[in-house]
Amino acid sequence: MKKLMMIAGMVVLLGSCYNDKYDKLYPAPAVTVTCDTTLIKYSTDVKPIIDASCAINGGCHNAAGNSNTGGLDYTVLTVLQGTTSLSSIINDINGTPTRGHNTMPLNLPKLSTCDIKKITRWVNEGAPNN
Q: What is the pLDDT of residue 51?
A: 84
Domains of the chain: which residue ranges? 42-124
Q: What is the pLDDT of residue 44?
A: 94
Report the pLDDT averaged over residues 73-78.
77
Of all residues in the chain, the percent with pLDDT exceeding 90 is: 15
The predicted model scores a pTM of 0.66
Q: What tens digit of pLDDT does each residue of 28-45 get?
A: 777 777 899 989 999 999
Q: Is 53 buried (19+), middle (13-18) or exposed (0-12) by CB count in 10 A?
A: buried
Of the candidates 120, 102, 94, 115, the residue with the CA atom closest to the CA atom of residue 66: 102
Has residue 61 got a pLDDT over 90?
Answer: no
Residue 42 and residue 125 in contact, taking contact as beta carbons nearer than 8 Å: no
Q: What is the pLDDT of residue 40?
A: 93
